[in-house]
Amino acid sequence: MVLRKKHPGGAVARGWDLPDVPLASALREFLSWSEVGGISPFTIRQRQRAVRRFILWAQERGLARPQDITLPILERYQRHLYHYRKKDGTPLSFASQHTELVPLKAYFKWLARERRILYNPASEMVIPKAPKRIPRYVLTVEEIERILNEADTGTLSGIRDRAMMEVLYSSGVRRNELAHLDIPDVDTKRGSLLVREGKGKRDRLIPLGARACAWVSKYLADVRPELVAVTESGRLFLTDYGTPFDADWLGEYVKRYIQRAGIAVPGACHLFRHACATHMLENGADIRYIQALLGHASLTSTQIYTNVSIQKLKQIHDATHPARLTRDSGDQNAKTGASAGDDAQAILDALDAEAAQEKLT
């Protein structure tokens, strides 16, 4: 296995290639301030990349000082992003434009706060909202099983990979959270997993299914001792070289198993997260419990899974709507009490999810 050296967190490390101008000097201080303030390394790299892009654009137009930047200039840059075309000729999505502009607002807000400029020119800049999109594809239970079975459990790496994917599917953790799990964070006897400083620096204690616990226990007993390098990191999952997994490499690694299973869909680790939430919802889990499992700060982020989970709603619609294409006479009376109860519970679950959504609007 050949590891591609990347900056921790996924972004390729970029050297400092900005000109020696006040805008760039201020960016250095802004990034240092962000680091001291506890901003995540990933967000700091996003800020550096986005503001760097703006500074280079501004330099081409003879703008080098923070005082040179006004609201009309920022709006002109926003239009530049809107009309920009990538190498393949496609425009930047609104989500990408949003990602480019949010760091700029933070940068100029900091400049004003530090009295580097008299006012914040970005305060009145209206940026496009990042769209809340439904996942394009949700793996079925059968597809998940096919992917899991691709791991060759007759090998040490296969056992480790099966354990990692079982944890992803059972707990719905993010790939970065999986990569940063330490050994004490997983309690296979009690069936729990502790995510330390997940997204938003929030800790959460979540359940881990019995099957995932069994594979983790097997990995800890038979595999990890063989992978430990000279220096013990304490990380739960280790590469073949005994080093902790990089989050970005972990995604590429899991993607290979998805491709081996003959499933051609975009995404990797997050597909397991989507599947975990959607399958639980389809089986009657309350959306509030899914919110706690996924670590969402509000139900708004979890609502996408109520949109994805249409299979249960379709079953209810086919079973109860009078305008079906075919309808057996007397089929209502043919229902057993158990199946009728199942349908009723499914309806109640759907209504409960709808009520939760209405409270947010």
Annotated catalytic residues are: 174, 199, 270, 273, 296, 305
Of 270, 286, 276, 304, residue with least CA distance to 349: 286
Q: What are phi and psi of 180, to 5 degrees?
A: -100, 10
Do the Cβ atoms of 120 and 67 come closer than 8 Å?
A: no
CA dist 301 → 22, 298, 361 (Å): 39, 6, 13
What is the biggest distance separating any 2 CA atoms in the chain, rounded to whole angstroms?
A: 82
Sheet holding 204-207, edge to edge: 186-187, 192-195, 204-207
| CB burial of residue 216 (10 Å; 0-12, 13-18, 19+) | buried
* C-alpha to C-alpha distance for 192 and 37, rounded to whole angstroms: 31
Q: Are strands 192-195 and 186-187 parallel, antiparallel or unpaired?
A: antiparallel
CA 274 centroid distance within chain:
9
Q: Report the candidate in 148, 229, 219, 152 with the shortest Cα–Cα distance to residue 183.
A: 219
